[in-house]
Amino acid sequence: MLKQLLAAFVIALCSSWVQAETFDHSLWDNLVKSHVVPIQGGSSTQVDYGALQQNRANLTAYLETLSALPRSRFDAFSKPEQLAFLINTYNAWTVELILSEYPDVESIKDLGGFFSSPWKEEFIPLFNDKVSLDYIEHDLIRGSGRYNDPRIHFAVNCASVGCPALREEAYTGSQLEKQLEQQTMRFLTDSSRNRVSNGSMQISSIFKWYRGDFEAGWRGSDSLSEFFGLYKHALPWSEASIAALQAGELDISFLDYDWRLNDTQ
């Protein structure tokens, strides 16, 4: 009997520990559900920054919870929980950056210091330090060697028309795999960003800037064509184009990026 009680206690203790090692993103979840609007049949989204400006107190409260997280607790998260935290952190602080100058901002590229881009500005309190958006994306997410998932490029959002959709819900560790797959298919199937024309793949400049991430062997894909081939079932392309894709017969060109603000206005 004593052994059974002890076993039950250990199970309960472990269960409570696992539950504790998650992060509450409900504030962000409520914000994006209320202020992010699907467009183009759901392949992209716009943000109602004007309404968010009126609801900024809730955004500030969420940012404070992000900044209060100790690094030791973050390190105890599972990999999916860590990655969800970092993606939400990047996206929420990007929105905050836009709101800091809104409505007098037409592009995120207009922000930042005189000698630096907005992505290099160290304005984000995180893990008892001040870091930049670049640090979150390129050091913590991409540069750590811990996650190695090119789909993050369809989850982090740069507040621009050319960016993948800002998701209308918070990322969570328990749902991350499904969320990343959905984000990837949303972006790849958007013909304004990725299409075939005259025997050539005309695709987003994201694939040019981060080509190495997509050709690093994730799910066996060592080229952009192979990466697209992983999602051939979802691509709105002709059978001939899909066949040419699989045969590696499509030339690749990169579309100009649209840096206009992804505003509903």
Question: What would the DSSP string read from start to end of 93-157?
Answer: HHHHHHHTTTTS-SBGGG-S-TTS-GGG---EEETTEEE-HHIIIIIIISTTSS---GGGGGTS-
CA distance 250 to 256: 19
CA distance 46 to 80: 26
pLDDT at 135: 98
pLDDT at 144: 84
CA distance 76 to 12: 18
Bridge partner list, 251: 200
Identify the burial level of 180 via C-beta atoms within 10 angstroms of its C-beta, where 0-12 means exposed, 13-18 middle and 19 or more buried.
buried
CA distance 3 to 136: 47
pLDDT at 70: 98
- How far apart, in Å, are the Cα atoms of 115 and each of 94, 101, 203, 231? 19, 18, 31, 40
pLDDT at 14: 46
Torsion of CA 133, 134, 136, 138, to 10 degrees: 160
Per-residue pLDDT of the chain (265 residues; tens, 9 = 90+): 545 544 544 444 344 344 548 999 999 999 999 999 999 999 999 999 999 999 999 999 999 999 999 999 999 999 999 999 999 999 999 999 999 999 999 999 999 777 779 999 999 999 999 999 999 999 999 998 999 999 999 999 999 999 999 999 999 999 999 999 999 999 999 999 999 999 999 999 999 999 999 999 999 999 999 999 999 999 999 999 999 999 999 999 999 999 999 999 8
Residue type, 136: I
Pairing of β 251-254 and β 36-39: unpaired
Which single residue is written with the structure tokens 């066949």? 243
Tell me the HSE value of 121 on the side-chain side, using a 13 A CA sphere: 18
- Which of 178, 187, 255, 191 lies closest to 227 in space, CA to CA? 187
pLDDT at 3: 53
CA distance 228 to 246: 9
Cα 186 from chain centre? 12
CA distance 150 to 213: 5
- The answer to whether the beta carbons of residues 216 and 153 sit under 8 Å apart is no
CA distance 143 to 68: 23
